[in-house]
Structure 1
């Protein structure tokens, strides 16, 4: 029945109500805007049983309005019509008061059919029927069910029964035990959001049930680049001994516009400034030299250049002062996401998933996160690939497969998107040499300049003629230096007069040029261990005790003056030296004196003895 058939009953009321007129005019003049708070409802919003009830009530009101067209609808006029309603409708007809209430509700809603929906969800007794102490026990057990403990419902039910039984015995009460169904229904009332918040925290629940917004939009390559680390689900072996040495780390930089991987680091260096520096250098430089060492790679790696915006997480390597200084020198803006928001770096997270599923799934030595899946498969035993072999496989997959292939929706191909964007806005290429790039990523510290040069680390000194000249002008003082942790052959020293750095080699250049800072520190640790292999603390203490005994014994001898003690010592020293320098020849005619007679007691030498000095 059209809305006009009901509206004419209340035209006068609307005209006499100025608030209704103002509301209608405001609705006409207001512009259409979406705030997200509007509610849209029709008969399809309800279940089938509720929708049938709405149709039933509407059919009754339709007949009554036709019969009461001129005189209006009242409860008294509805009563005589119930017989006619019963003939036309097969269902039992409610009382006239009930029908009149439906009419009032329908009229007050401005004739919206959804107002006839029964409020069945609000029926029932909402008050708690169990005693407070029993309800408290139930709530505590339910907390254990939906929390991280994840207690099952049956054990929660048994726990409540035990607590109620103990309470009855100790307080002389007779509270009834709740049923299993009581606990199950209470748990069912919790929303998925509440359950997740209880088990994993409010932050996780908000992230899981957040609204989904628009994807991050970029207009050109390198406009936004995301970086992150992950440990590969693959075990590697030693290149010489072929023994399993663990799972390597992978650091990737992903361009958000083309979805290309523009740089990476793969090795056993954990997330640190070193792995970050190596990956970022690889991303900035052209890849010709890298691919020349991998002849099995057939395609070209098109990606290079300095990113405009680098998106990171809150790892300590991204918060370091050295990293921020490097980005400032290269004009790279850094955006650090909030804690525990991996969805703000969707491209790197997705790229790691693609790498694990598309590349590592078929390689020997793959690792499994679920122990049930890896049952019967020993990842460490099956591993056969070295880090260099894994790196070459990764390059082949990345350049010859991933960058050339369109996504499953057919909306993006990394190489095609990169080429099209590079024609309009070419990448910001680093124009300097490799040494200049190393200088940009070098760590900045202060050290003392002395006669022996500049001390960097243990057994690492740096000096040359230029540094000696600089010391001659400035003297011994503290200088600012930069060094490359990956190669310690050179350092850069700041000349404060010229406001520029000059290069200074290590004194032991052959050693320093072939090691990194980490390797040097390990070498020093090993050297320290080897130098203490002959050391025995107890032997050292015994030697110290023996020295003390000799000193005490010599001091116990009776001496009158310091001069006499010096002369006695000189006499003993000369006697011992003479015996050691001349061979002993026994006399042939005379008997040897006894050892006791031949010994001279140095302690009985007189102080007034005439010591003759023979001048030559």
Structure 2
């Protein structure tokens, strides 16, 4: 994924809402904008989350493609006068230089200026192209050639971002030398120094072998957190067991305490995202929480049945976590790299570095005491209260309660660390502007891609039977064109492809198609198999091996899963452990692009594979943090 997976929402942007195309004209508030229908020119109010993608962000010459409503009356009047001056010339196909000079004399401009106006109008076919532009370069623009930029970036990479810690002066000399060798014009040395200054300080320090200094630069000073200067610049994430006993969906009997993974924006103290589960904290918990934080939440609130708005999402700059194993696994690191997130870990034995998230977890613990089945923080507080006997809410109902508290209470009330302003007020002013200009809003252009980037993953070749992982076979016609593919960099080796897997439901894996750059669901080859979790699969495989079976295969594994489920169903009303395990089962299969009948009779419709090919060595794959 590239940075283009987020796009800015600002006047002039053209977006799609359903099948209609709109051009944004004004920002209204944190949730909506004014836009005009490109086809009918009617103005309407659009909800930000309903926008799907940018159609055209800039005009052909690079100038903003603003609606006429964007310009001031004075600028628009100038454009109209210019158009009236050149209109007779445009309509005259036989115009001469004398005609243009005479028109210029009448309105008091040079002949060359009129020719310039004519050319601009003919290029754009719109009066707005004649609006006067402010002189000078665009602020923040870069005007070097691609070759010059490449030389600068390569020199910084090879000379500056190394443990040798060469000085900016050494980088300047290296750039000049490389430009001389490449026979291209060298950039000014101040430009090179500016490119070095643009590097993220923490990332540069780590690359230069100064991890301790990079870590210490996040030391909180007078209650502030360095780098948290705007929304999503620094996000802290952590886990905690919730102080409440939940009940199962069927028998409404206690099954134990759930776990909460939560992320908070340090700048505004707004909750960015969360994930509630019965499973112990894992890479999956981190993946779900991060992707939830970066994506919009209107659909989530609607599915959960919670009234209110949660307009907190966007590109995370730095993700700050403790040193737990799940925060350092390959899947999370890969997801952060793919989404341009700088991952930072809390210094060992310095818990105050996570003060913001720790304080909010305390707020959650206090709120949980209001729920039937609360365990409180310790046995003294719980004395005389039977948490299991009083428990009444399911996992989903606890999640509803928590989200309702976040959206409608915590985000709206005054916060002592925000000068008694509320997290939502601080967030809104920083986005839309108040005393200071706002940073604007960004929307994820591919929410599913963000979620998949953080899931556990593995690489594998594609065989005639599809793909095999943990003795389970997956197939979809989308894989056919990649069967037996060779590595483009080494034709002697088979090409390996990337697949993601959601451990909560492994009835499909997700193929990262190298052509379209999107994840495509690939279901079980045997579509009659039931959805299972990675944990169920792992446990069934262990049981089959413990029974001394000569060969572990798909049939034996799913027979063991089915037998174990029957055993659990018989004891679920009796034991807490069985009820808890039953609640973890996948409820449905993930969506695929082509629905299929989930019956064993459907299997023969696909070519029956030669059993010998299942043992071919080319099928070897590498697992990357499956859960």
TM-score of the superposed pair, with normalisation by structure 1: 0.47
Larger-gyration structure (1/2): 1
- Structure scoring higher RCO (CA < 8 A, sep ≥ 6) equals 2
- Richer in helix (by share): 1
Query: TM-score normalised to the size of structure 2?
Result: 0.47
Structure number with higher strand proportion: 2
